[in-house]
């Protein structure tokens, strides 16, 4: 429901057709566009099961255009104090979607992922993001280290989450930041880690090794935005 509604609201890419299986189009979807502006078709629930290969479609889906290419250097001109989120080897599209959702709620300029060996924007990502990918752009880059170097040249500090880093709670910086989230299990790659200006860890009390990648990203984003003074200025 949410990804379809947000695709209609954001108009980042064309919505070509909406399919639904209930007696009528859900109100949240109907309110997001003008009747007659987009093709709408009622189908059996089994048809949605077949198309989406799932029974968790909530009775509605949309055919949309391809996700537009994003020029990552545009993130550098975001209003200060800016935050850019980088995913270094996050391969689970559900994790990527959840990270984009948190980035959207924290007002990040965008999310950057490597073109290879990484999850990208897929229907699973869109669903996990609750439609946030329609509002917070996701850019694919060929060379992640080069992007980080360009961010430094643009005045950004690079902070990576790493179990061997200093406590996130002791990190106090108001400047513009790039937050790097490592992949599930392996964390950041060596070259990425070496490019970071700071390595930060999230303090923990339990016996497990670490937070899930998307949970760690959410906790870090909220904490860093507080350090940047965003919450105090926006409520």
- The confidence score (pLDDT) of residue 234 equals 57
Which range in 21-25, 56-60, 127-131, 231-235 is most confidently predicted, on average pLDDT?
127-131
What's the full length of the chain, in residues? 235
- The confidence score (pLDDT) of residue 186 equals 84
Q: Are residues 219 and 104 in the same domain?
A: yes
Which residue range(s) make up the domain with 9? 2-64
pLDDT tens, residue by residue, 15-62: 999 999 988 888 889 888 876 789 999 999 899 999 988 888 899 999
Q: Are residues 41 and 132 in the same domain?
A: no
- The confidence score (pLDDT) of residue 232 equals 67
Q: Are residues 103 and 218 in the same domain?
A: yes
- The confidence score (pLDDT) of residue 114 equals 96
pLDDT(102) > 80: yes
CB of 59 closer than 8 Å to CB of 26: yes
CATH code for position 200: 3.40.1280.10
- How many structural domains compose the chain? 2
CB of 179 closer than 8 Å to CB of 222: no
Q: Are residues 50 and 108 in the same domain?
A: no
Q: Are residues 114 and 222 in the same domain?
A: yes
Residues in Cβ contact with 117 at an 8 Å cutoff, skipping those fewer than 6 apart? 89, 91
Domain boundary (64, 90, 109) is at 64
pLDDT(120) > 60: yes
Q: Are residues 36 and 149 in the same domain?
A: no
Domain boundary (10, 42, 64) is at 64
pLDDT(233) > 60: no
Q: Are residues 135 and 200 in the same domain?
A: yes
pTM as predicted: 0.93
pLDDT (average), residues 110-121: 95
Q: Are residues 78 and 26 in the same domain?
A: no
Domain boundary (64, 89, 107) is at 64
pLDDT (average), residues 108-137: 95
């Amino acid at each position: 429901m949410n990804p379809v509604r947000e695709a209609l609201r954001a108009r980042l890419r064309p919505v070509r057709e909406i399919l639904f299986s209930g007696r009528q189009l859900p109100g949240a979807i109907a309110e997001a566009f003008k009747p007659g502006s987009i093709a709408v078709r009622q189908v059996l629930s089994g048809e949605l099961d077949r198309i989406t290969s799932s029974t968790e479609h909530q009775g509605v889906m949309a055919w949309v255009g391809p996700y537009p290419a994003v020029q990552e250097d545009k993130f550098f001109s975001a209003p200060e104090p800016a935050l850019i989120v980088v995913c270094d080897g996050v391969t689970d599209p559900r994790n990527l979607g959840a990270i984009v959702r948190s980035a959207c709620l924290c007002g990040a300029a965008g999310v950057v992922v490597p073109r290879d060996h990484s999850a990208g924007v897929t229907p699973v990502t869109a669903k996990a993001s609750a439609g946030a990918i329609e509002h917070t752009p996701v850019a694919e880059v060929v060379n992640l280290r080069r992007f980080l170097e360009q961010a430094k040249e643009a005045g950004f500090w690079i902070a990576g989450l790493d179990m061997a880093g200093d406590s996130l709670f002791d990190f106090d910086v108001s400047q513009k930041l790039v937050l790097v989230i490592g992949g599930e299990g392996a964390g950041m790659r060596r070259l990425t880690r070496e490019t970071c200006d700071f390595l930060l860890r999230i303090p923990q009390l339990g016996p497990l090794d670490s937070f899930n990648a998307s949970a760690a990203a959410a906790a870090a984003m909220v904490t860093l935005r507080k350090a940047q003074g965003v919450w105090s200025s926006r409520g």
